[in-house]
């Protein structure tokens, strides 16, 4: 491998990179269009001719070394052999660094509205959510789309995410108000150095709780049942078994209780200026705040959605990384679903992870920068 790296440095030096034809970078872009398969696209004669003329010796040596090493035993041209090397590193980096987000893209209705308007659908609409934790992967690190659809129908991860995010600000404010205006330690937080940190903790805990209840509603809801009935059933059940005075949650909430408990303790441990007794008191009061919310039937998201996952079509391909999309429909109180989706999101790699993948695949900063300019 050291020999290959040495030959690459000679081949792709500063003077060479500035002369490489556009077709070469277009060729590389085609290689990463479909990371599900890492297919090797057909090379271009202009690429071959360039390296034969400009760097004939180095290109030939690298081609022979790649064949001899077993990286590209079936290649017939230099560009094919380099594609094998690039994809080998790309796939390895993809497995290690790929991190998935859902990014807001245009719906067809929005496209129609903005097509005849001076106002453009642009960066002001850029919204993205981290979904990396619940996106199943193929062995090469790409999205296992069939498994993703099965998991969503069973676990409702994406639907619960959108329910939570649309209600989180309101519900977190309710929890924060209860904590700061009712509990003894909460009342003092506004003058504490850790006030903002505690507020952030309340938001994160609200998110955990909202997501839990949203999933329970989705698991119970059917299209022929009023949505409100499912919501009421879930809240009535958990309110019945919660016990704020004994700091107890229902047995069915053991997992979410452990998650919240771990988060509270981790955050409080970072408050180094507080005594252990103060931390313990804050811990108990935070727990009791959320127990009282459940007891009062609070903590439930306001909006619920039907999520349809699909392969993206040409209309959705505003970015070569979008191969799959999620259409979001609103569920009405009577259980019916809106006729048109009100939002669409595409699955993408985060910019940071894509940068790491490409830099490692090129293994040459100058080549990477040139590729980004063309891209």
pLDDT of residue 34: 62
Distance between CA atoms of residues 115 and 255, nearest Å: 48
Contacts of residue 346, defined as CB under 8 A and 6 or more positions apart, other chains included, come to 102, 103, 105, 312, 316, 318, 319, 322, 324, 325, 326
pLDDT of residue 231: 93
Q: Max alpha carbon distance in the chain (Å)?
A: 82
C-beta separation of 58 from 81 below 8 A: no
pLDDT of residue 278: 87
pLDDT of residue 93: 92
| 175 dihedral zone (left: phi>0; alpha: psi -120 to 50; beta) | alpha
C-beta separation of 267 from 278 below 8 A: no
Q: How many CB atoms lie within 10 A of CB 235?
A: 19
Average pLDDT, the chain: 85
C-beta separation of 4 from 65 below 8 A: yes
pLDDT of residue 124: 47
Q: pTM of this prediction?
A: 0.81
C-beta separation of 327 from 308 below 8 A: yes
Q: What angle do CA 185, 190, 195 make, to 5 degrees?
A: 80
pLDDT of residue 1: 75
Quick one: tokens of 160? 């619960």
pLDDT of residue 230: 93
Low-confidence ranges of the chain (pLDDT < 50): 121, 123-124
Query: What does the pLDDT look like over 315-329, one tens digit per residue?
Result: 776 655 688 999 999
pLDDT of residue 320: 58
């Amino acid at each position: 491998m050291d020999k290959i790296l040495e030959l690459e440095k000679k081949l792709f030096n500063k003077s060479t990179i500035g002369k490489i034809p556009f077709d070469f970078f277009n060729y590389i872009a085609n290689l990463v269009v479909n990371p599900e398969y890492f297919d090797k696209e057909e090379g271009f004669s202009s690429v071959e001719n360039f390296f034969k003329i400009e760097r004939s010796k180095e290109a030939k040596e690298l081609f022979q070394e790649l064949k001899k090493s077993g990286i590209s035993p079936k290649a017939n041209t230099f560009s094919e052999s380099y594609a094998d090397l690039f994809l080998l590193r790309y796939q390895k980096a993809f497995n290690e660094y790929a991190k998935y987000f859902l990014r807001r893209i245009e719906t067809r209705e929005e496209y129609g509205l903005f097509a005849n308007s001076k106002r453009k659908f642009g960066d002001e609409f850029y919204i993205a959510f981290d979904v990396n934790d619940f996106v199943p992967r193929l062995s090469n690190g790409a999205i296992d789309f069939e498994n993703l659809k099965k998991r969503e129908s069973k676990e409702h991860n994406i639907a619960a995410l959108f329910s939570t995010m649309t209600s989180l600000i309101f519900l977190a404010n309710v929890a924060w108000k209860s904590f700061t205006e009712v509990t003894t330690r909460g009342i003092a937080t506004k003058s504490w150095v850790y006030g903002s940190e505690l507020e952030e903790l309340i938001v994160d805990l609200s998110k955990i709780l909202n997501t839990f209840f949203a999933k329970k509603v989705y698991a119970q809801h059917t299209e022929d049942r009023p949505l409100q009935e499912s919501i009421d059933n879930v809240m009535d059940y958990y309110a019945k078994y919660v016990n704020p005075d004994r700091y107890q949650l229902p047995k069915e909430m053991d997992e979410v209780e452990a998650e919240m408990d771990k988060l509270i303790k981790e955050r409080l441990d970072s408050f180094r200026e507080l005594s252990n007794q103060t931390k313990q008191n804050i811990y108990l009061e935070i727990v009791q705040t959320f127990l009282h919310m459940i007891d009062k039937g609070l903590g439930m998201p306001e909006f619920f959605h039907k999520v349809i996952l699909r392969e993206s079509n040409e209309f959705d391909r505003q970015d070569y990384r979008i191969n799959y999309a999620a259409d979001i429909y609103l569920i009405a109180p009577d259980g019916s679903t809106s006729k048109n989706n009100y939002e669409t999101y595409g699955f993408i790699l985060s910019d940071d992870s894509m940068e790491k993948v490409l830099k490692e695949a090129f293994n040459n900063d100058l080549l990477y920068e040139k590729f980004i300019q063309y891209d």
